Structure 1
Amino acid sequence: MSEGVEKKIWLSSYPKEVPHSIDYPIVSLAQLLIDTATEFPENDAIFFMGKRIKYKSLLEQTYQFAHALKSMGVKKGDRVAIMLPNSPQAVISYYGTLMIGATVVQTNPLYTERELEHQMVDSGAETIITLDLLYPKVAKVKPLSSLKNIIVTSIKDYLPFPKNILYPLSLIKDKQYIKIPKTEGVFKYSSLLKIQPKTSIQVEVDPREDIALLQYTGGTTGLSKGVILTHYNLVTNAVQASYWMYRSEKGKERFLGVLPLFHVFGMTIVMNLSIYRAASMILVPRFKVEDVLELIQKERPTFFPGAPTMYIALINHPEIDEYDLSSLEACISGSAPLPLEVQEKFEKITGARIVEGYGLTEASPVTHCNPIWDKRKNGSIGLPWPDTLAKVVDPATGEEIEQGQIGELVVKSPTVMKGYWNRPEETNEVLQDGWLLTGDMATVDDEGYFYIVDRKKDMIIAGGYNIYPRDVEEVLFEHPAVQEAVVVGIPDPYRGETVKAFIVLKEGIEVTEKELDDFCRTHLAAYKVPRLYEFRTELPKTLVGKVLRRALLEEEKEKGKVG
């Protein structure tokens, strides 16, 4: 039996600047914005498509939104859905909802009507804020759910002149303009805020017990579930992140906000952390490589949290050498494994440090990260954050296993959720004696660095052998022709399952299946080598860049190869 968790062996690997334990403020998450706006009122809080908003103004508009919700009858504990891309409205509505003790329900703007209906019905949300372009979708879902109030905003609401005039004209030209009806229960965001006071409004909450957020899991492995996160969960994770970034200077950093704020990674490591550190958020509503490169050169962000697919897209841009990216100092990669080749090339181009971290929605989300300015280990998710316990256990018995052996990663932290919304049985399956069962297979070394081998559900069993997709994908990424790769197991009458690789090639480079097969056979045991290859121009992904393996398996099923 390993004594890793009892001895907290990872603490000896901590940078000397990072405390082993932290005294967390027991406050509402909204208090972070109030404190920062009080201390740094004239600092830029948000940069959005040419528009700058200072912290004083951000807080005032947040108060106005909170008053608006109150005027609609929204009260403490009610659920308010936010269905917006990265924008000032996304930040204002988030903190405004929290100001009155209501619960935020983050909603993906790309959801289909069916997905939106499930989330609205499941959460019981009665109020939603969304874009004018998305109004028709929300209007169709309204009679099928508990929705009573629809607040409609537009990208132009925060565009500077003359963009605010040209934007609607471009929509009309492209036949995308949506006329919002003047009907009961539909409110125009800009008009709503105008008539509200900028005075303080804050409903008292119990940070440890009251729900700040219902964050729905991505649904990459099935029907999405609402994760119950308290104010204390979310404040704690932001504070942990702040201590991990010990070289950052309060009030001086500039965060590149390309991760969607409605995703738990972007919400915590871009929005909440930025607010807590009085940083400026450079918000990007949609990730486009050239736009992001130009934005980095012009606005000089210092911190860039992202997903591997974002870094892959940037380093493969043919003109990346023409951009000055030297302002970047630190990057945390999450949501999917970071290939070593990508890490090395990105650092060479930018001079920034990029480290891999790990988390899950059920933990607010970050539990592990490599030290940014200290010893990191390639392929590792790093060390547990302060006040976070982690161990690797036998999935069958729950007993901790020897260092170096593969088992399920389980964690215990003040950031761990209260449970799943209205799903007590599923809650009991993953929360046991205070430990969260992550469903990820991992190992830990003698210095306390953890390594994710793969998701328990993604493991492929071929001919009796356990195959972890990440092992195969890492090798494929090393091939000079491969830009992206994902591996899945598909049924095989002889082996039970067999390995299939989906490949996206780098632009202008070709490779044959035979060449890939030969390459894999020199780097992998024979049973791990893919038996099938399929070349794609792109892979199905969530907005944060996580490949939807389930979507690939469903495609296989439709082809008649599964089922």
Structure 2
Amino acid sequence: MAPKAPKNTATHLRPWIASYPEGIVWDAELDTRPVHEQVLAACARNPSATALDFLGGTTSFGDLAKKIIAFAGALQRQFGVKKGSRVALMLPNTPFYPIAYYAVLRAGGTVVNCNPLYTVHELSHITESAGADVMVTLDLQQIFEKAEKLVQAGHVKSLVVCHFPDALPLVKKVLFSVVKRKDLAKLKSSPIADRISHFHTMVERGEPPTPVVIDAHNDIAVQQYTGGTTGLPKGAQLTHANIAANMSQIDKWGCGLFYPPSKVVAVLPFFHIFAMTVCMNVPLCNGTQVVMLPRFELKALLNLFERTRANVLPAVPTLLSAIARADSATAEKLASLEVAISGGAALPNEVRSAFARKSKAVLAEGYGLTEASPVVCCAALRVASKPMSIGMPLPGTDIRFVNLESNQPVGIGEDGELQVKGAQVMVAYHNEPEATEQAFMDGWLRTGDVGHMDDEGYVFLVDRIKDLIICSGFNVYPRTIEEALMNHEAVEETNVIGVPDEYRGEAPIAYVKLRDGKAVTEAQLKNFISDRVSKIEMPREIIFKDALPKTLIGKLSKKELREEYQQSKASS
């Protein structure tokens, strides 16, 4: 188990403390009560307030609590869910997700998040590794058919299926039933019909759950799979205290931002650790409304802002870029937005500047990883922060930078691997003792990210260790080249990878997507960045593409580009 951060608050050891925004204390006591207890307490405080808004259909905190409790009871009685039971959730953002999530925890079980866009092969690995006997999913055919195959293959024993139209407001429910009926799976004719239970009938039974005593610091609340870009995903085991501690850290950092009358937009998927914590757990446990979209569509998001006047938007850089570049995203439509929090990937300075021209909202870049529940650092949410910085460590979080060769801590301003200690750090990877051992160094969580801290405690990241390119013995960081290319007016997106080079060992290759209606040649782009990057950093080749591959939450992906490059060289 990773040790907790020590209580010594000496500013020479933690220079960021002196730069903390007013009112934030580093060693404030963290609330580690299990998240389901906190959300049920919030429901009891103000049962008539709106907890969830899904496409205009609303759920009050009182109704949310009733459904959580009823579903928890049904999971216990029907499936024997108890401490140690793994329950898989394969759901997009709908009211079903928070109900199922908190109900599993209330029943004593562990949530295993499954991305509905994953292939059956990827889902098979996760469910088999976790030992999840029960999966909660939707009756949308596109999603259900994957769950059905998992049951047929023996990776999951039983399904709880939610009826998608039940999540919609009345008019949309009727329209969906008429126009989109073909999108729904025919459950009665499914070859696994005898192993399907219906969510609504389980909730309607209203069976109260039996009490479960949770050991917050040892019982696993969420087993979140991560690291699939370099092999099979590993299950990061996050205790109830890990998740609650990170919620408490974010809450203190927000200085009241996540309390009513705020409304938090959940367009990022709850099955991703960033959205699970920042878009769902933190606001709901504070009695704050969450406004959901099942997926990102610009028009729907802009309509959401106009309809709900939501003021907090957790996002990934590609989403912010789409807003910044869209003519339809006017200042008037974004007028309610006060704070946008960028996470999941590095935020290019060009996107930051373009977004600032559209909205007066504070744009704060944060940083985290699944193994830290996930947030480690964040720029200030109420006041301006240093440009290009991921901000400072959250309260109760310690960080250090370690030399990549000597493994010794480096000084202020020197680049090294970012390492983390804190109450939010996972206990281990599930059934992966070697990977767990490699994930820590002297009790510090290794992030695999390279960066440094300035003398005021602001953190700056350079790149991922695995993305580092060694050119003629020199370290070349793709992000440096990407930032230079993004400054050109014709460039919409770019991604840089390292490839084998007979002379230099490795060389950078840049992939570029141009903005609509813009044109530029490879020679012109190289000339443009010649005063921004060194000769060592200059891309050997710039390849133009109509679209760049992205991960399922919208991060630009280097994995597919490396595979594409290898295939193109093999075929030639």
State the TM-score, normalized to the length of structure 1. 0.96
Range with greater deviation from structure 2 (259-268 or 504-513)? 504-513
C-alpha distance in structure 1 between counterparts of 2:488 and 2:213, whole Å: 56
Partner of 2:274: 265
Equivalent residue, structure 1, for 2:6: none
Structure 1 position 562, deviation (Å): 10
* 8 Å Cα contact 2:362/2:383 also seen in 1: no
Amino acid at match of 1:103: T
How far does the alpha carbon of each residue in 1:237-268 deviate from its partner, in whole angstroms, 9 at most, with x for none? 11111111104262311001011100000000
CA distance in 2, matches of 1:322, 1:440: 35
Residue aligning to 1:9: 15
Q: Which residue number corresponds to residue 554 of structure 1?
A: 563
**Matching residue of 1:51:** 57
Q: Which amino acid aligns with 1:108?
A: N
Counterpart for residue 99 of structure 2: 92
Q: AA paired with 2:430?
A: W
Partner Cα separation in structure 2 for residue 249 and residue 216 of structure 1: 27
Unaligned runs of 5+ in 1: none
Match of 2:204 in 1: 194
The letter of the residue matching 1:528 is: E
For residues 460 and 283 of structure 2, what CA distance do their matches in structure 1 show? Answer: 28
Q: Is the 8 A contact 2:11 2:18 kept in 1?
A: no
Structure 2 residue aligned with 1:222 = 231
Q: How does 1:406-421 map to 2 (within 5 A)?
A: 406-421=415-430
Check the 8 A contact 1:294/1:323 in 2, yes or no. Answer: no
1:556 touches 1:562 (CA, 8 Å); kept in 2? no
Alpha-carbon displacement from aligned partner over 1:8-67 (angstroms, at most 9, x marks no partner) = 111011012111112223322201111111112111100001101111111111111111
Q: Paired residue for 2:183, among 176, 182, 188?
A: 176
Q: Is the 8 A contact 1:117 1:145 kept in 2?
A: no
SS in 2 for 1:559: helix
Please report the TM-score for the alignment, with normalisation by the length of structure 2.
Answer: 0.94
Is 1:77 the counterpart of 2:87 in the alignment?
Answer: no
Measured in 2, the distance between the counterparts of 1:492 and 1:239 equals 48
Q: Which has the higher mean CA deviation after the structures are superposed, 530-539 or 325-334?
A: 530-539
CA distance in 2, matches of 1:171, 1:562: 43
Residues in 2 aligned to 1:201 and 1:342: alpha-carbon distance in whole angstroms: 50
Shift of residue 200 of structure 1?
6.3
Which has the larger displacement, 17-26 or 386-395? 17-26
What CA RMSD, in Å, does the superposition of the two structures yield over aligned residues?
A: 1.8
Deviations 1:430-486 (CA, angstroms, capped at 9, x unpaired) = 123321011111111111111111000000112222110111111111111111111
Hey, what's the Cα distance between the residues in 1 that align with 2:368 and 2:381?
16
- 1:295 counterpart = 2:317: no
Q: Which residue of 1 aligns with 2:4?
A: none
CA distance in 2, matches of 1:562, 1:314: 38
Match of 1:441 in 2: 450
Matched AA of 2:56: G
Q: Specify the SS of the correspondent of 1:404.
A: coil
The answer to whether the Cα contact below 8 Å between 2:258 and 2:283 also exists between their aligned partners in 1 is: no
Provide the residue aligned with 1:454 in structure 2.
463
Percent pairwise identity: 37
261 and 249 in structure 1: CA distance in 2 versus 1, 3 angstrom threshold: closer
* Change in 2 beyond 3 A, CA 1:236/1:424: same
Q: Displaced runs of 4+ in structure 1, greater than 4 A?
A: 3-6, 199-202
Shift of 1:101: 1.0
Instruction: Determine helix, strand or coil for the equivalent of 1:190.
Output: helix
Residue 64 (structure 1) aligns with: 70
Shift of 1:561: 5.2
Q: Which amino acid aligns with 2:179?
A: S
Kept after mapping to 2: 8 A contact 1:4/1:391: no
Relative to structure 1, the CA distance from residue 309 to residue 249 in structure 2 (aligned partners, 3 Å threshold; closer, same or farther) is closer
Alignment pair present for 1:427 and 2:433: no
Deviations 1:137-182 (A, max 9, x none): 112122434421101113211111121122133334xx43320137
With over 3 angstroms needed to count, the CA separation of the structure-2 counterparts of 1:5 and 1:80, relative to structure 1, is farther
Which range moved further: 415-424 or 483-492? 483-492
2:571 & 2:28 partners in 1: Cα distance?
50
**Structure 2 SS opposite 1:321:** coil
